[in-house]
Amino acid sequence: MSFLCCCFRCCGDGGSGHIPLKEMPAVQLDTQHMGTDVVIVKNGRRICGTGACLANAPLHQNKSYFEFKVQSTGVWGIGVATQKANLNQIPLGRDVHSLVIRNDGAIYYNNEEKNRLPANSLPQEGDVVGITYDHVELNVYLNGKNMHCPASGIRGTVYPVVYGKSC
Q: Hey, where are the domains in the chain? A: 2-164
Average pLDDT over residues 106-134: 97
* 53 pLDDT higher than 60: yes
pLDDT above 70 coverage of the chain, percent: 89
- Rg of the chain, C-alpha, whole Å: 16
CATH class of 2-164: mainly beta
Euclidean distance between CA atoms 104 and 50, whole angstroms:
17
Euclidean distance between CA atoms 36 and 102, whole angstroms:
20
The pTM for the full model equals: 0.84
* 1 pLDDT higher than 80: no
pLDDT at 15: 54
